[in-house]
Amino acid sequence: GESVGLHLPTLSVQEGDNSIINCAYSNSASDYFIWYKQESGKGPQFIIDIRSNMDKRQGQRVTVLLNKTVKHLSLQIAATQPGDSAVYFCAETPPGGSTLGRLYFGRGTQLTVWP
């Protein structure tokens, strides 16, 4: 079955630094990827998405990079702030059929921002 994993379970950065959170995915046919942020006791919050026909997408302070050759996804957060402290998940959606719209999540990376 499909699986999404993360290279590092924890990441600590200083306030103001840039953060990079990595993710590996296993299904080369997956065509849609989403990054979520989950704070303690809350549901996952959409951050940014990217489709497989793109290799980079930018949002406000965040950039997602997709490398289909090595099935790797990364989330870059610029000028990390204490409010960015949370668990970050990448999720993939395989193409069409009965799996349409379902998300496969990895374990998540705990980002801690210290002053």
- Residue ranges that bind another protein, judged by CB under 8 A: 4, 32, 34, 36, 42-46, 49, 89, 91, 93, 98-108
Q: What is the DSSP annotation of 60-77?
A: SSEEEEEETTTTEEEEEE
Write out the two tokens for 66.
Answer: 């997709």
Complex with another protein: residue 101 or 115, whichever CB lies closer: 101
Tell me how far, at minimum, the Cβ of 105 lies from another protein, in Å.
3
Tell me how far, at minimum, the Cβ of 93 lies from another protein, in Å.
8
CA neighbours closer than 13 Å in the CB half-sphere of residue 20: 7
Backbone angles phi, psi at 17, to 5 degrees: -75, 165
Residue with tokens 């989950």: 38
Tell me how far, at minimum, the Cβ of 100 lies from another protein, in Å.
6
Complex with another protein: residue 1 or 115, whichever CB lies closer: 1
Complex with another protein: residue 16 or 51, whichever CB lies closer: 51
Query: Would you tell me how many other CB atoms lie within 10 Å of the CB of residue 22?
Result: 16
Tell me how far, at minimum, the Cβ of 87 lies from another protein, in Å.
9
* C-alpha span between 13 and 109 (Å, rounded): 13
